[in-house]
Structure formats: C-alpha cells, structure tokens
Structure 1
Amino acid sequence: MATFYQNKNIFASALLALSIMFIHYAYALRASSISDCPQLSPRASGPTNPRDLRPDDIKVIAALGDSLMAGFAMEGINDNDGGSGILNISAVTEFRGQSWGIGGDDGAITLANFVNHYNASLEGPAEGSHIVTFCQGNSKVDVLNAALSGAIAMNLDEELNYLIPRMKELPNVDFENDWKLITIQIGSNDQCASCLNPFMGEVTAEKFGGYMEAAVERIHKEIPRVLVNLVGSFNVSEVYGLTKGQEYCRPLFNNPDAILNRVECSCFLFSDKERDNMDDLSANYNVQLEAIYEKYKAQESDTFAVRYTPAKIDIGSFPLEVMSNVDCFHPGTLAHQWVAKVYCPTEDDRFRVD
C-alpha cells in the first residue's frame, strides 16, 4: 500500500486505510484508476446472502448523511465562475456527483463509480451539482444521495422519507429483489452542536445511538436485500488546531480565529474543555455504532446485514490542501478522491460485513 501512494504524504496513508475499510478485500490488484481494474467474470448464480456480495452484485447504491456526503464546497473557491471570496458560487454549492460515497460524475473517483465499473446498470449515483439546500427536492441531481447539509442524526428519518420512495420509483430497479448498498456517514454536526442550546440535548451519545438504530431498523423493515455500511465518527475538534491562523483558510482581519469553520462549528471557540467534550462524544458515538452493528450481526439474515467501518483518521496530520479553502472544515475534492480509492477485486473477493 505504501508504495502505491509513495508520492503522496501521510494523509494518503490514513485515508487509504480508511478507504480499504469501506470495501475490504482479502486480496486485490493495484490500479491507478477505476477504469484500469479488470472486469469480473460472471458467476453461475447470484449471491446467496450479504456476505456473498461482489461489486457486480450491487444494483442500487444510496447514502444518508450530512454535508460531507452531500459534497458541500468540495471544489473550494473558484475565481473563474463569478463572484469573489466566500460569495463565489462554488462556495455555496454541493458537488453531489463527486461525493466519495455516491457520486456518479464521469471520471469522478468515488465508491459509486467503482461499483458501476463492475455493474454498468447500477442505479442511484448522484450526478452534477446544485446550490446548497437544506431539504430534498432536486432528485434529478441527488438521485439516491439523501444527505442533507447541516443534518444531525436526528434528521436521518427525514432523509429516509426521501430515499425510500425515490428508490421505489427508479424505473430500472426491482425493489424487492435487487441488492442494495446504503452508506450512512453522520456525526460531525452533532459534535459541533454539543455546546449549543437547544441542540445539546439531541446530540448526546444515547440520542445519537437511538436515532442511528431507528434509521437502521427502518431500513431493515422497509428495504429488502440490503447491506448497510455504518461509517464511524472522527474527532472534528482537530480541525481547530490544524487551521488556526492558516492563510489558506482565509482568516478575516488577520485574526487567527476569524475562520469560517469557527462559525460552522462554534464549539471550537468556547474552550479546550468543550473541544475535549466533542472528542468524548465522538468516541461514544462509535461505541453506539459498534453496539448497533453487534445487535444486527446477531440478527443477520439472508437479505439484510450491517457492517461498521471505523473512521480511524488523524485530522491533525492532514495537509491543508485536502480541505476546502471555502471554510477549512469540509473535505475538498482531493480528500473525497483519496477516501474513495480502492484496489481492484478478484473474482473470489467479497464485501466484508465483519
């Protein structure tokens, strides 16, 4: 793995490890791009259960989450598309077609395009971009990316209200029989709301776990033949130290704390104690996610399974360039690409659920 990314820095190693957790194969061939991966030979019969899934078995891909999954501001400030500074149109755009988990833009390095390489009939990837919205309504772009910018775990049920009917409406999907992969990544905004009334009561570890479990259970009851991928929480507080005073982050009036991410995550500015509390919450969110995984592992069937993907990343080791220069809070295009990079599977490899 190290040789493949030797021209990258330490962040590449961290995100490569994370990406391989998303689709982990026992053995895989290296490739410089998704298109270089050889096709898989068709199997005589389809998968018998979620543990038997290969990429070419997935017909539907979907995602729930917040602005990270929505691809908010990932292209950063682009002075060529009109405006200037944070008023630039790219600063308030969700680039959903390039989102690491479900983007379907041509040439984008994403999990969805990886699966699409092996199953050209894949349904659900988002394509294109639009101005940030805080409610669903652009199904032609979003398709099955139900993520909402600003969302916390409490909003997952609302996202499912969009996702489930939309999935059933897709013309080329056999809702009852096609295999589906749904990735859920949320929790950053929950951490950032932990010091704010009236939200702090809704973002406790217990509440977070309850909302996550309710979402998984609703998927279990309402969506057949599905593998749910729960992505772990990471320490958002580390963004504070990484970005403090950095010119790349466009601080105002030479004030090292006048960075947009201080507004988006105002707990950054309260105290070290509040930032430590964010870290405690993140750790306890992961305890909740692991408990959900263990619960459904014990209940696993031939049509439903849950996997837990820890997000073991050290934000403090990131180069700033992997973050959007709009706010130094959201990951930029390079970060989304690195997260989505995978190795080519062999015909005997499967999606792991343990």
Structure 2
Amino acid sequence: MTRFLILFVVNFLVFEVNSIIAPPKEILEISVEIFNNWKTVRKDFMDSMKHPMGLPHFNCSRPLLDGPKSVHQLHPSQIDVVAALGDSVSVAQSAKSSSILDIFEQYPGVSFVTGDDVALAEQSTLFNMFRKFSPRIKGGSSDRIRKFYDFNLAVAGSFSHELPAQAKNLARVLKRKLGRDNANSWKFVNIFIGHNDLCNICKNETLYGPENFGDSIKTSLSIIQDSIPNVFVNVMPPINVQIHSQAHKVSPFCELSHKQTCSCIFDLNEKEYLDIKKQFDDKLKEVINEFNDKSKDSKNFTVVIAPAMDLKSIPLLGEKPNVGLLALDCFHLSPIAHDVAAKQIWKGLFEPVTEKSVTNQLSVGFDRFVCPPKKCPFLRTDQNSESCEPPKELRSLQIIPGNTTVGLDMPTFFLPFFFIIGTASILLFVRASFRRPSSEFSDERQYLLLPIRADLNDNIF
C-alpha cells in the first residue's frame, strides 16, 4: 500500500498544479485544513471510545505438558514461534502515525500478530498472549530494531500473488535462525493478505481476481507444509475494503485518501464488491478444505480460517462509523484496532472451526483474557472441533487471581516433602558458599563460562 500512499501525499499537497515545489498558497491552506480537521475528528473518536487496552489481569493456569503428539493436541504453552505473512496490515503500517509525514511508516512493534514493544497490560498482541504460556517464545517484532528472532515477514504493498515468495523466505529464515531446533519447534503462522487485490481488482480482474488469490494461497500452503515442520497455519480472509467508504461520511480526508490508496472503492458499487468478496471467501474455504482433506492424517500440519476481522461494516460510535479504529491514513488499523484484532483472534483459536466469532459492536471493549477451556485446551482444528479429549492427569501451574504467587496443582500431602527438600537445598547452598572456588573454575577463569543459548537475549543481534 505504500506505493499508493506516496502518490497520495504528492497529489494531496499539490493537486493539479504545475509546480510541485511551489503550489498555490490557497490550495495548501485547504489541504492542511482538511487534514487537521481529520486529525481532530479522529482524536475525538479515540478519546470517546474508552476502550480497555490490553489485558492486565491474567489468571489462566499454565499446564505442565510434554511435547505435543499431534497438531490437533497443541496447547498455547507448546507454541515456540509466532510468524506473520501478508501485507501492510500485519506490519502495522501507519498505526502510530501522528503526522502526514509518517503515515508511510511501519510499526511492527504493535502489530496484532507479532508486536513485542508493548506489554500485555498495555496492548494485546498474539505474541504477548502466547508468551504468557510459553515464556521463551520467539518471533516478536519491534519498531526500534529488527530483532534476530523477528519472524514477521509480511511486506507492505504485497498482492496475493507475492505470498509464495514470502512463504519460501519464511522457510529459509526459520531453518537458518532456529538451526537444529527447527525440526522440533512448533510454529504458529498467521496469513493475512488480499486487501491490495481488492483495491485494484477493477484494473485487472485476472491478476487481482479470486482465482489467482486462491491459487496463491494454495501454493503458499504447499510450500509451508513441505518446508516448515510442525506448523499451525491461521489464515484470515481479507477485510472487505469497501466498508472503508463508510468513513467518507465522517471526513473528506478519508475520501481523498481512498481515491489514491483504494480507487476501486469508487469504481464498483456495494453489491459488486459483496459479490467479489464472496468469491474470495469461497475460494479460500475451498483451498483450506482441500488441504485439510489431503492432510487429515498429518500430525504436524493443519490450517484453519480465522474470520475475526471479516467485518460487515465499521463498528459504530454513537451513530457514526468509529474512525478511532482507523490509523491516521484512514485505511490501516490504529493501535486500538490491533488490540481488538488480537483479542478476537485469540478468542477464536479456542472456538470450533465452524463457529468462530467475528469482530462486532460488542467486541470493541473486550477486556477479559480468554483462557484455554478445560474441556478442550487445544488450538481448535477441523479434527478436534467436534470431539476433543483433554490431556489425562493434567498438572498445571495455577495463577491465583489477585496474587502473583504461582502454585503447583497437586495433592496437599506433597507439601511437607517439598518443604524438606527446599530446606535441605538452602542448607547445602549456604555450606557451599563458604568453600573456596576450585582451581578448575577460579575467579580468573570465570570469563570462559559462556551463557547457554536460551539465556541470550535476542535483542543483542
């Protein structure tokens, strides 16, 4: 989408004047006034929402499980990697922009998929939600630096026919950076693409049409299945971009922006767009069903459709479309919308594949952490949605509400035993502290002891 937004800024500031360097003063004044009015209107909506950002109260139990025997018995605590493929929405383009000059910037640190610049109490992302169960999880993104284990490989401006190249890149990057751990690590891969296709379909119905969209998804899934071991793929249908036109009622800036970023909104009417969107959705379902039928005996690969952001309209605030959910460019998602998306997708991970909920008016304001259900604490797939057996003899680290103490869920008669073991360990430690260090690991040679790989903070790379 960046390539279109750059054109938008030039046209927005200059219109059809002959000189780019010195456009007429009155034109610039009108342009600045429209943009400033939009900023004020958007801020008023954001201030009026009172949206509870993040999830400050985490009180789910953390199960003590061995490695999963199947992707259909995959608990959030067993996810080792979170990755993202797609377009500018997944890299949070414009999310934190505050001026016309930075609406092209990307803010992956707050992306609903891999955002790692925000704590869960500040803003929800799938990465910081999974991390509550799997503390050593990899894949988080930052605005400040490209971290070594950043697996958000979405590319702003991408069309669906470019997705296979992203899938190949992900396979290479995981193999290179995880090394031998790649074979045993469980990955959660989120795919969200198709918006640029919908914004340009009126220009080329073949290249940007539903058939090519379906073929690209199919090719990408084949690459992932063949090249990436142990993977749960979460595919999101593209948002119906036509609903963005509802924001035109709120600000003329949005209409000006969409003429450059998504011109097909103006060339196709609502019914035509709904028909096209349905073709995209039907093609996606066809491909996913085909893959799951083909790989029904697979223990290490599955793919599900996550319709969390498949909105029918922009949620309302009062009687107007809530533009506080839109970024400053009036097209991408604001941090509030990224928070809403992460919560809704997370909730859907534990819903049967045919009953997953979609963001609606009630979703904006969602502030409860959804714990994995006791009856079926696994990420739902086509095979465990109808019949799901919880792990037998499940032990868990229970988080007591209102307390930071972590207790082991086991019979009380074990407590004296652990008390004795703990006391003995303390006495041994105190005794050892009075010993002189052995010559083998004297103070002079302590620098030779390197930290193990798991203790290295990937921020240093």
TM above 0.5: yes
Counterpart pick for 2:286 among 288, 291, 295: 291
Q: Identify the residue that residue 243 of structure 1 maps to in structure 2.
A: 247
CA distance in 2: counterparts of 1:144 and 1:345, whole angstroms: 25
Q: Identify the residue that residue 266 of structure 2 maps to in structure 1.
A: 269
SS of the equivalent of 2:187 reads strand
Counterpart pick for 1:353 among 361, 365, 381: 381
CA distance in 2: counterparts of 1:62 and 1:32, whole angstroms: 21
Is 1:182 paired with 2:209?
A: no
Cα shift readout 1:267-296 (whole Å, capped 9, x = no counterpart): 122242xx5433322211111111122112
CA distance in 1: counterparts of 2:378 and 2:143, whole angstroms: 30
Counterpart pick for 2:311 among 285, 310, 313: 313
Q: Identify the residue that residue 371 of structure 2 maps to in structure 1.
A: 344
The AA in structure 2 aligned to 1:227 is F
Q: Identify the residue that residue 64 of structure 1 maps to in structure 2.
A: 85
For the 8 Å contact 2:288–2:304, the answer to whether it is kept is yes
Counterpart pick for 2:327 among 324, 327, 334: 324
Counterpart pick for 1:47 among 68, 75, 88: 68
The AA in structure 2 aligned to 1:308 is I
Structure of higher CA gyration radius: 2
Q: Shift in Å at residue 164 of structure 1?
A: 1.6
Q: Identify the residue that residue 106 of structure 2 maps to in structure 1.
A: 94
Change (3 A) 1:104 1:172: farther
For the 8 Å contact 2:54–2:339, the answer to whether it is kept is no
Q: Shift in Å at residue 173 of structure 1?
A: 6.7
Is 1:226 paired with 2:237?
A: no
SS of the equivalent of 2:264 reads helix
Change (3 A) 1:61 1:227: same
The AA in structure 2 aligned to 1:223 is I
Change (3 A) 1:265 1:290: same
* TM-score, normalisation: structure 2: 0.60
Cα shift readout 1:201-234 (whole Å, capped 9, x = no counterpart): 2111111100010000110110111111111233
SS of the equivalent of 1:36 reads coil
CA distance in 2: counterparts of 1:244 and 1:142, whole angstroms: 40
Change (3 A) 1:189 1:129: farther
Say how many residue pairs are matched: 298
SS of the equivalent of 1:203 reads coil
Is 1:214 paired with 2:229?
A: no
CA distance in 1: counterparts of 2:118 and 2:199, whole angstroms: 34
SS of the equivalent of 2:191 reads strand
Q: How do 1:118-197 and structure 2 match up within 5 A? A: 118-128=133-143, 139-140=146-147, 143-171=150-178, 174-196=181-203
Q: How do 1:29-40 and structure 2 match up within 5 A? A: 33=55, 36-40=58-62
Change (3 A) 1:32 1:200: closer
For the 8 Å contact 1:60–1:124, the answer to whether it is kept is yes
Cα shift readout 1:81-119 (whole Å, capped 9, x = no counterpart): xxxx412x3x22111011101212231410111001111
Cα shift readout 1:131-164 (whole Å, capped 9, x = no counterpart): xxxxxxxx53882111111111101122123222
Q: Identify the residue that residue 277 of structure 2 maps to in structure 1.
A: 282
Q: Identify the residue that residue 4 of structure 1 maps to in structure 2.
A: none
Counterpart pick for 1:76 among 87, 91, 97: 97
Q: Shift in Å at residue 261 of structure 1?
A: 2.3
Consecutive unaligned residues of structure 1, counting only runs of 5 or more, are: 1-7, 13-30, 78-84, 131-138
Q: Shift in Å at residue 315 of structure 1?
A: 2.6
CA distance in 2: counterparts of 1:269 and 1:41, whole angstroms: 52
CA RMSD of superposed structures (Å): 2.6
Q: Shift in Å at residue 192 of structure 1?
A: 0.4
SS of the equivalent of 2:85 reads strand
Q: Shift in Å at residue 39 of structure 1?
A: 4.1
Q: Shift in Å at residue 48 of structure 1?
A: 1.3
Change (3 A) 1:205 1:304: same
Consecutive unaligned residues of structure 2, counting only runs of 5 or more, are: 1-47, 316-320, 347-369, 383-461
SS of the equivalent of 2:314 reads helix
Change (3 A) 1:148 1:141: farther
